[in-house]
Amino acid sequence: MFPLRRNRRLRTNEAIRSLVQETIITPNDFLVPLFIVEGKGIKEEIASMPNYFRYSLDLLEGEIKDLWKLGLKSVLLFVKVPDNLKDNKGTEALNPNGLMQRAIKTVKNTCPDMLVMTDVALDPYSAYGHDGIIENGQVLNDETAEVLSEMSLSHAQAGANFVAPSDMMDGRILSIREALEDEGFINTGIMSYSAKYASAFYGPFRDALDSAPVDMVDIPKDKKTYQMDYANRFEAIRETEMDIDEGADIVMVKPGISYLDILRDIKNDVDVPVAIYQVSGEYAMIKAAAEKGWLNHDQVMMETTTAFKRAGADIIASYFAKDVVKLIS
């Protein structure tokens, strides 16, 4: 065939490269994670996540307006719960006037059209830093799913559009779906963290929310009895298909960059939107290398986010969302 076919012809200059580009990133691709704290006038940088902040509710308003102006229309809320409100059962998670419930209302009052998704898991509320209730050294499944259903209902009542269970208990999507339906929240969606791996890339996030598992006897040291083994691939498909059968509207693969194969497998297998989460450790890694001058920040950021979309992501949850949108607009 050579020289009739020369692949380099389509790479000759910027114009032809952009004409044949297959994957294009837009603000519509992004879901923005936000960290919320109690207090007033607080915008504090997270030590292991440079240029990413925790906001108190009063300053959250400004941030929401900024995001909307940039064309970012969906947020995923996480709260940092004061230690004195943590227990084994996540009781505070059900408080109708809790930080999450107030955060949902703050976003909706500031910008009614902003899509609000909420994290549903016990870890920020757990005295032990686990996603479930603990008894005799075990994370209880069904009892935890019950609390997660009540928590989801509470978020829906406060105005959340989607709940996003990130805990990986078995059967929790079905119990959440039933709880929402029973109370008439037929349009509240569920974005399931369906293939969430037990990953060392979550480190900085646990700093952000002070939610790491505690080091105590009879408390599991890690989350490997509920989050997935990173050596496994078919298990991700099984988990995801089950969550869709149970009522998930959107499924997710987490973390991101080390799991592009899983993302593509799932995209090829399912007919619901697929999300990917570029997690805190991935963000921290790029920030740190860029700070040292070892990597070009913006180029690596664009390469990773484009890779998610190319690999099949319909939705990208990323701490880089604002930076990407500023760069491309």
Ligand X SMILES: NCC(=O)CCC(=O)O
Is position 52 an interface residue for ligand X (rule: CB under 6 A)? no
Point out which span in 238-246, 268-276, 287-295, 316-324 binds Mg ion (CB under 5 A). Answer: 238-246
Q: Are 38 and 99 in contact (CB under 8 A)?
A: yes
To which residue do tokens 């603000």 refer? 27
* Distance in angstroms (rounded) separating the CA atoms of residues 204 and 209: 9
| Site map (CB under 6 A) of ligand X, residues 66-85, x = contact | --------------------
CB of 41 to ligand X, least distance (A): 25
Q: Is the peptide bond before 273 cis (omega within 30 degrees of 0)?
A: no
Establish whether the linkage from the previous residue to 255 is cis, with ω within 30° of 0.
Answer: yes
Stretches 220-228, 234-242, 268-276, 309-317: which one binds Mg ion (CB under 5 A)? 234-242
CB 189 within 8 A of CB 250: yes
Q: Binding of ligand X at residue 280 (CB under 6 A)? A: yes
- Rule CB under 6 A: say whether 118 interacts with ligand X: no
Q: Strands (DSSP E) along 197-309, which ranges? A: 250-254, 274-278
Please work out, in degrees rounded to the nearest 5, the angle formed at the alpha carbon of residue 280 by the alpha carbons of 276 and 282.
75
Residue 241 labelled as part of a binding site? no
Q: Is the peptide bond before 204 cis (omega within 30 degrees of 0)?
A: no
Q: What's the closest the beta carbon of residue 121 comes to ligand X, in angstroms? A: 6
Q: Which of 74, 149, 154, 166 binds ligand X (CB under 6 A)?
A: 166
- Does residue 223 contact residue 167 with C-beta atoms inside 8 Å? no
For residue 113, what are the contacts with CB-CB under 8 A and spacing of at least 6? 68, 73
C-beta closer to ligand X: residue 33 or 189: 33
3-class DSSP state of 180: helix
Rg (CA), the chain: 20
The distance of closest approach from Cβ of residue 231 to Mg ion in the complex, given in angstroms and rounded to an integer, is 17
Q: Do the strands 49-56 and 43-46 form a parallel or antiparallel pair, or are they unpaired?
A: antiparallel
Among 29, 119, 167, 239, binds Mg ion (CB under 5 A): 239
Figure out which of the listed residues 30, 55, 197, 202 binds ligand X, where binding follows CB under 6 A: 202
Nearer CB in complex with ligand X: 101/280? 280
Among residues 86, 89, 223, 254, which one is catalytic? Answer: 254
CB atoms within 10 A of CB 25: 18
Neighbours of 294 (CB within 10 A): 8
| Options 114, 191, 279, 313; binder of ligand X; rule CB under 6 A | 279
Give DSSP secondary structure letters for 70-117: TT--EEEEEE---GGG-BSS-GGGG-TTSHHHHHHHHHHHH-TTSEEE
Instruction: CB nearer to ligand X: give 212 or 327.
Output: 212
For residue 91, the minimal CB distance to ligand X (Å) is 20
Question: Binders of ligand X: how many residues, by CB under 6 A?
Answer: 7
When asked if residue 154 is in the footprint of ligand X (CB under 6 A), the reply is: no
CB of 167 to ligand X, least distance (A): 8
Say whether residue 167 binds Mg ion (CB under 5 A).
no
48 binds ligand X (CB under 6 A): no
The verdict on whether 196 is a catalytic residue reads yes
Give 121 or 321: the residue with its C-beta nearer to ligand X.
Answer: 121
Active site (annotated) includes residue 108? no
CA distance 126 to 128: 5
Residues at the contact surface with Mg ion, assessed by CB under 5 A: 239
Going by the annotation, the residues of the binding site for Mg(2+) are 239
Instruction: Kindly list the catalytic residues.
Output: 196, 254
Going by the annotation, the residues of the binding site are 239
Residues at the contact surface with ligand X, assessed by CB under 6 A: 119, 121, 166, 202, 205, 279-280
